[in-house]
Amino acid sequence: MGAGALRFVTPAVKSAPTAAAEPADAALGSLDADDHVFLKNTHAARFVPLAEFAAVVSCDNYTDVFVADGSHFLVRRSLKAWEAALPAELFARVHRQALVNLAQIEGIADPDGDAPALTLRGMKQPIACSHRLSPELRRRLLGRLRQP
């Protein structure tokens, strides 16, 4: 997608009943760091820049997208689909049920432990990082600190 391109999360509606049903996960495609995604909940609907995503957390067949301003949106999309679409340089899987925006991490509880808890901008509850994914997260965060 081009600079500042907009993406709708909701898939296109097929008018012909004989058309093959497109899975909801296929509609997202690949996103760039400067893209916007249309999200809606019962209170609001808006285009949210990917840079403002704090975390994407799995809730069964849905995901809860947390935004840095404290709002969140329940979306019918799998975490696997989000992981495939979100830019890898900006987002990391930290748990089997969570992806986080590395730029939105405000603090780390127990950073030297095996399973640190991440405090993210706009989120009340910290997100636990799994023991297995903790070394990769540490490596990526240190790499971001070393970049000019």
Alpha-carbon gap, residue 130 to 121, rounded angstroms: 20
CATH class, 6-10+21-146 region: mainly beta
Domain locations in the chain as residue ranges: 6-10+21-146
Cβ-contact 55, 61 below 8 angstroms: no
Model's pTM, two decimal places?
0.77
- Encoded tokens for 8: 């709708």
The Cα angle at residue 39 between residues 33 and 47, in degrees rounded to 5: 55
Q: Residue 85 in 3-state DSSP?
A: helix
pLDDT digits (tens, 9 = 90+) for 15-71: 333 333 334 555 567 898 999 999 998 888 999 999 999 999 999 889 999 999 999
Alpha-carbon gap, residue 135 to 12, rounded angstroms: 39
